[in-house]
Structure 1
Amino acid sequence: MRRMSRSLLAIVLAATAMPAFAQDRTERLLGELADAPGPSGFEEAVRAIMVREMKASTDQISYDGMGSVIAAHGSSGPKIMLDAHMDELGGVVRRVTPTGFLSMQMLGGWLDQALPDQRWIIIGSKGPVHAVTGIRDIHVVPTEERGKVFPRDSLYLDVGARSAADVAKLGLSAGDPVVPDAPFVALPGGRYLGKAWDDRVGCAVVLEALRRLAASGHPNRLFVAATVQEEIGLRGARTASDLIKPDIGIAIEGGITGDSPGRNLEETQAALGAGPGIFLYDSSTLPNRKMVALVRDVAAAKRIPLQTDLVQGYGDDSAAIQATAGGVPTVNLVVPARYTHAHNGIIDRADFDGMVDLVVGLIQRLDAKTVAHLRDFAPTN
């Protein structure tokens, strides 16, 4: 390796000594939520952030029997459920080998090609432990196998241990949660790199919407639900809905973009930075048609660019909310995100801000008369 020149060394040292750009409140919140560990069933760290932020806007906080958080605001009017899920894709330690490697049960919809040679954090009894999923060395892989995907069952977590006893000394055992190691980074142009935008971006949206609505007022009883275990079956949304019994349901999710190279136009048409989105179809639910029309009307009135999309192979909490309390008109609104269900994703701040404006405007429109119209299915002739 060549020595670094003095001028280049000076530049590097100066850059590392520079203070980070000042963050505003929203950016700090997005970073904190993205970095928090919270795979399905292990949402404690995210829940602590959500409760802290909710308490700044309301003192009416409750929990369902699975760990979802419900913040209520308003004492009269129809019941509006605003939902985002706290859990992210991750894993759980399955077993420890005699030589100190750990096998992992994946939690949520991972692609096998997203798993090899990635860094992870295992939350053990003595605190976090860094790990990496191994990968075969190219020098020994036959040419005909180099383009193949490594199946997940062939992967093991390597924590640097030499034996099972070493693993135990680290405080690790079967059942410990595993999360991607992918720290939040603010990119140029108002874009953010990080893990778990599905659905920490939604968590930040509902918190900011609650804060603004608590200050400005609204014509309904608002229930902001931060739910658990969405990635393994929409479970928390179902139990939270059982308690709330909403008249209207609004789910906020991380969307899917199709604007990076190599994408099929039919997969998704959404683009980063082109505004918040609404799903007209996904494989778990169809939105209420009148709700879709209302969302479009609010977006147009507020001059918010609104992207529409139809996506296969996607499920969201609105499906669970929709099927409770005798049937609930619902809609799924999304903040576009690149590279979901992987270690690193990217969102655009303008899409986030537009979504908050849209949600606030929508909830302010949901008075008793409007909700009655949305829930009226009687024929008009």
Structure 2
Amino acid sequence: MLKKRLVCACFALAGLVCLPPVFGQDATRQLLEQLSNAPGPPGAEEAVRAIMVAKMKPLSSSLSYDGMGSVIAQMGSAGPRVMVDAHMDELGGMVRRLTPNGFLTMQMLGGWLDQALVDQRWIILGSKGPVHAVTGIRDIHVLPAEDRGKVFPRNMLYLDVGARNAEEAAAMGLEPGDPVVPDSQFLVMNGTDNYLGKAWDDRVGCAVLVEAMQRMAKQNHPNQLFFAATTQEEVGLRGARTAAEVIKPEIAIAIEGGIAGDTYAHHPEETQAKLGAGPGLFLFDSSAMANRKFVALVKRTASEKGIPLQLDLVQGYGDDSAEIQESNGGVPTINLVAPLRYTHAHNGILNRKDFDQLVDLVVDLLTELDAKTVTQIRDFAPAQ
């Protein structure tokens, strides 16, 4: 019963039940909103997984799970084994302990900046349902002048749930190990085609999986497609590793949230992508290097289809393709992205046109990955 209440609470946060219907939206926007709002920190992806399974199962010839909770949906039974990956988890946290005065300490999960943590709202997925919390901040009226410009370190932060003591916090259904997720609801930014929300890294990729499956279900394709919604990427690319072991792909595409560099233009070497300028292709990141022949295919396909393509190289970035390319004796991979503003924080921005064009590019690539093309990409023999 306790587990059922927790799952129902997660579903409510994900927009699956107990929330009023949303009218006047296209299906893609509804999908993006539902995925962005869903709580899913590493190891607690249940609400996101429920959405993905509901969308993927009717489109797949078979649907299964690996031992880490990743969802694997297969389409087709002949041709090269093509893996398309996106991770379900988002940056979050986990309750460490309940203090005597009712505050909670938090273990951060994923690559948080300390300056992104102060005075933010959070949701704790407790055994009795969601509990709202806030990370506090020292009052300016008592903070020494020399400390006012300093970043509040994470080890000084506490989750405030309004409890007066540890017993009151425990009575809310809270205990060590409870997942914590940012509290930040989806919205369309002032009538534009920019969407504000949390967890675009990598709910944007999850939405691409769903929409690509919907498109591929209506046309013939020359391969076996394995769409994998993976777990625990933010804490070490773990689900991609186990999913790839199950799938044994011959070639793979990772779908991720990229980094838009148009906000802080005085740091041009950090990233070259711009919001609203089309999907991106990572030539390099700290965890993986794209297969050069596969890169050439992406460039050619985008050019032939009239899809703008942004090439990028980013340090301090890791993605699932790193684990996939090291599986099954070596797998040619690429990482395609939708550029995002303000990743790894409570509020990020996705451009709808970038998303739509990314779906177009993925679908176009999947229709081209026949046995001959995959063999050519995997061929490393020196030219005669």
Which residue among 193, 205, 209 is the counterpart of 2:208?
Answer: 205
Secondary structure of the corresponding residue to residue 56 of structure 1: helix
Which letter does structure 2 place at the counterpart of 1:296?
A: K
Q: What is residue 15 of structure 1 aligned with on the other side?
A: none
- Aligned amino acid, residue 204 of structure 1: A
SS in 2 for 1:87: coil
Deviation, structure 1 residue 55: 1.6
Q: Partner letter of residue 151 of structure 1?
A: P
Separation in 1, partners of 2:279, 2:221: 22
**In 2, distance between residues paired with 1:329 and 1:59?**
25
Cα distance between partner residues in 1 of 2:243 and 2:68 = 9
Q: Aligned AA for 1:329?
A: P
Please give the residue correspondences for 1:234-313 in structure 2 after superposition, counting only pairs within 5 Å.
234-261=237-264, 263-313=266-316
Q: Tell me, what secondary structure is at the counterpart of 1:129?
A: strand
Does 2:380 match 1:380?
no
Residue 121 and residue 103 in structure 1: after superposition, are their counterparts in 2 closer, same or farther (change >3 A)? same
Which residue of structure 2 lines up, in the alignment, with residue 361 of structure 1? 364
Taking the aligned partners of 2:196 and 2:310, their CA distance within structure 1 comes to 21
2:143 is matched with 141
Q: Distance in 2 between matches of 1:233 and 1:285?
A: 13
Q: Does 1:226 align with 2:229?
A: yes
Q: Which residue in 1 is equivalent to 2:99?
A: 97
Output the amino acid matched with 2:320: D
* TM-superposition CA deviations, 1:227-272 (whole Å, max 9, x none): 0000000000000000100000100000001111465111111100
Distance in structure 2 (CA, Å) of the matches to 1:89 and 1:134? 19
Cα distance between partner residues in 2 of 1:318 and 1:368: 21
Rate the CA distance shift 1:263–1:181 in 2: closer, same or farther, 3 A.
farther
Amino acid at match of 2:302: A
- Whole-angstrom distance in 1 between the partners of 2:254 and 2:111: 19
Cα 1:366–1:20 shift into 2, 3 Å: closer
- Output one character per residue of 1:32-79: Cα deviation in whole Å (capped at 9) or x when no partner: 000000000100000000000002312410000110000000010000
Higher mean alpha-carbon deviation, 262-271 vs 66-75, is at 262-271
Name the counterpart of 1:54: 56
Report the AA paired with residue 218 of structure 2. A
Query: Where does residue 328 of structure 2 map in the other structure?
Result: 325
Counterpart CA distance in 1 for 2:302 and 2:266 is 28
- The root-mean-square deviation of aligned C-alpha atoms, in Å, is 1.1
Name the residue aligned to 2:18: none
Question: Which residue pairs with 1:13 in the alignment?
Answer: none
Distance in 2 separating the partners of 1:239 and 1:34 = 25
The within-5 A match list for 1:103-142 is: 103-142=105-144
Counterpart AA for 1:259: D
Query: Could you tell me which residue of structure 1 aligns to residue 160 of structure 2?
Result: 158
After superposition, what is the alpha-carbon deviation per residue over 1:286-342, rounded to whole angstroms, capped at 9, x for unaligned?
Answer: 000000000001101110000000000000000000000000000000001000000
Any idea what the Cα deviations from partners look like across 1:121-178, whole Å, max 9, x if unmatched?
0000000000000100011111111111111010000000001111011000100000
Distance 2:319 2:142 in 1: 42
Q: Distance in 1 between matches of 2:182 and 2:61?
A: 33
Letter matched to residue 221 of structure 1: Q
Partner of 1:7: none
TM-score (norm 1): 0.94
Report the Cα distance in structure 2 between the residues aligned to 1:144 and 1:168, rounded to whole angstroms: 37
Closer, same or farther: CA 276–262 of 1 in aligned 2, 3 Å: closer
* Structure 1 runs of 4+ with >2 Å offset: none
Task: Please report how far the alpha carbon of residue 185 of structure 1 lies from its aligned counterpart in structure 2 after TM superposition.
Answer: 0.4
Aligned to 1:16: none
Structure 2 regions of 5+ residues with no counterpart? 1-20
Q: Tell me the equivalent position of 2:65.
A: 63
**Runs of at least 5 residues in structure 1 that lack an aligned partner in the other structure:** 1-18
Matched, 1:38 2:40: yes
Structure 1 match to 2:82? 80
CA distance in structure 1 between the partners assigned to 2:179 and 2:341 by the alignment? 25
State whether structure 2 residue 293 is matched by structure 1 residue 315: no
- SS of 2:137's partner is coil
Give how far 1:20 is off.
7.3
AA aligned to 2:237 is L
Deviation at 1:346, TM superposition (A): 0.3
Contact 2:53 / 2:71 at 8 angstroms: preserved in 1?
Answer: yes
User: TM-score, structure 2 length as denominator?
Assistant: 0.93
Which amino acid in the other structure matches residue 64 of structure 2? S
| Alignment-mate amino acid for residue 74 of structure 1 | G
How many residues are matched? 363
Give percent identity, aligned residues only. Answer: 69
Q: 1:263 to 1:229 in 2, by over 3 A?
A: farther
Counterpart for residue 3 of structure 1: none
CA distance in 2, matches of 1:59, 1:130: 40
Residue 169 of structure 1 is matched in structure 2 by 171
Q: Rg: which structure is higher?
A: 1
Aligned partner letter, 1:43:
E
Query: For the Cα contact (< 8 Å) 2:41–2:93, is it kept in 1?
Result: yes
